[in-house]
Structure 1
């Protein structure tokens, strides 16, 4: 728990720096028409590559890999990064002076959009960092770095453009839903020791059997009797 809190703090600090880069390089340039969508996407991928490199550097340290803690620590790290990026975008969303956005200020649409941005950003960055941590334990680093950098760039563009077109944030939702299952079944448990993993699977199987037995159980009926 102490290690997870420490990596959450790492994520908060690094996430704020990355959020400032997204705001100054991408969001401001889009508002001022300095960059087109393609160029902004390239900068988003570069920022995503910087984040992927930082995640790989932090999670691939011998002290972390020897404990097989890369996946859960990556989850905490990603939550911190995602929360800071979401908070910066939400701050811009609630600013009534945000140009070219019909949803800026404090209203029902902006509050709902802010909640969605926070959820998608936190889960998206946490899932990517956890996946990188799981691949580090398998001694695979280059391919996860490239894929996660591109995925982070795509996620960043969806979140930034959602300030002007709220439906853009929903483009990332199917990908998050698709990888949620593997994250819970494979990526996060990969950080367990063999004994802990065996106990986890046994508990999961027993819970599944108990749930099936409870659903299939024929319930009796209450019978009134004068005896």
Structure 2
């Protein structure tokens, strides 16, 4: 590795949100190869300057690489579907469980995306459909339990159909992996911010105006008031 290549690598790491502490550690490590003082200090985009809890796709990839296989799959599922931590424990095939019938669901949900629908149970017992890519669905189905098992998370009992991580255990793993990979963490809930911002861009690209897109997104996230999801879009 040349000094130029090392410098370029550090600048790339900074661009994807690696912390200053980690960047400095990387620089010192690489100077054992390139020579002491051969690399310039690269300034990080520090987390206090980031107004959003959003994780970029490449950052999610780095976090998954810092997790074990089980937690990494749960991270992929939560990222693709915009799930809360406990909702991972409630995943069911669409058809085995139905979305809440007392709500009026917009037919444009998941417009522009293809995949396999599942049902999760969120706040207040609201059941909603979520969408996973075919690849992620195949990985999930390979972990389907012969019979649902009871698990307890934060004092609440859930019936779990898949042998995956979820709830507080997964959330803690995510935060620790984010710290290892990036040097900072906005918590597992940051993946819902990622979902929201990416979906709004997709919906706009599919011709939806802002407020209809926001209302579609609110239902995909398990809300029924568009203004609530404004927090996710900052």
* TM-score bucket (shorter structure): under 0.3
Larger strand share, 1 or 2: 2
Larger helix share, 1 or 2: 1
TM-score by length of structure 1 reads: 0.27
Bigger radius of gyration: 1
